[in-house]
Amino acid sequence: MSEKVFNRIILKVSGDILKGSREGGIDFDVVRNIAEEIAAVHATGVEIGMVIGGGNLFRGTEATKAGVDRIIADNMGMLSTVINAISFQNALEKLDVQTRVMSAIAIHELVEPFIRRRAIRHLEKGRVVIFAAGTGNPLFTTDTAAALRGSQMGAEIILKGTKVDGIYDCDPEINDDAVKYHDISFMDVIEQRLRVMDLTAVTFCRDNNIPIRVFDILKTGNFTNIVKGKDIGTYVSEV
């Protein structure tokens, strides 16, 4: 029997890390490396749903500063997540992992529409399900989409893969004195406005009792070890 402590999870991957060392776009070596980690976890029997950001291709906040209407900018951002989702589907299927992309906005020629019961059935059949286009609504982030899909799928935890090894009291990339939290409560994250997920997502997870673990997904083995119960990154929960 494969070693695991979760049956069903949501993996949230920040779009920004997919560009690798580039200014933007998709570094397919990064996608492949993460896909290999996902395949290893999938082999343990864990049911995996994914939500991927789109910041490597398009950032709505930057577009609005340039004068693009906020709603239009968010719609463009949702489309960028579909591109990232398809790139992961390709990488996973090359590793013989059956994968379905389900979009919150209709793009029937490319991906399936999101239907909750169908998504659950895909997971039960052992397919990785990548949830694209956020919630399908502007003004909501992919963090909130991850929280929403986590609740809809009955996931036991949301694992947020970033390029940082956890949550700090300030930005560790610009402050050498930043202190890392081993674990922290939802309320402390909200009150201190820590950059874990946006506040809507954190509040949603708190209200629906879905814990979050933030970790460095670029470090080989982290994702697999977390699913085996290793204490990696920062754990966010009610306590």
**Model confidence band, residue 195 (pLDDT cutoffs 50, 70, 90):** confident
pLDDT for the residue numbered 157: 98
Amino acid at 220: T
**More reliable by pLDDT, 60 or 117:** 117
Decide if 44 contacts 192 (C-beta within 8 A).
no
pLDDT for the residue numbered 140: 94
**Model confidence band, residue 64 (pLDDT cutoffs 50, 70, 90):** confident
pLDDT for the residue numbered 56: 94
Average of pLDDT values for 180-199?
Answer: 93
- Give 3-state DSSP helix, strand, coil % of the chain, rounded to 5: 40, 20, 40
Average of pLDDT values for 90-116?
Answer: 97
Both structure tokens of 215 = 């970790």
Task: Express each pLDDT in 34-48 by its tens digit.
Answer: 999 999 999 999 999
In a domain, 1, yes or no: no
In a domain, 204, yes or no: yes
In a domain, 46, yes or no: yes
In a domain, 2, yes or no: no
Helix, strand counts (H, E) of the chain: 8, 11
Task: Express each pLDDT in 106-155 by its tens digit.
Answer: 999 999 999 999 999 999 999 999 999 999 999 999 999 999 999 999 99
pLDDT for the residue numbered 2: 54
In a domain, 52, yes or no: yes
CATH number assigned to the domain comprising residue 224:
3.40.1160.10
pLDDT for the residue numbered 25: 96
In a domain, 68, yes or no: yes
Query: How high does pLDDT run on average in the chain?
Result: 95
Provide the number of structural domains found in the chain: 1
One DSSP character per residue, 78-128 reads HHHHHHHHHHHHHHHHTTT--EEEEESS--TTTSEEP-HHHHHHHHHTT-E
pLDDT for the residue numbered 1: 38
pLDDT for the residue numbered 217: 97
pLDDT for the residue numbered 199: 92
pLDDT for the residue numbered 4: 82
In a domain, 120, yes or no: yes
In a domain, 3, yes or no: no
128: β partners: 99
Q: Structural domain of residue 110, as residue ranges?
A: 8-237
- Residue 65 pLDDT exceeds 80: yes
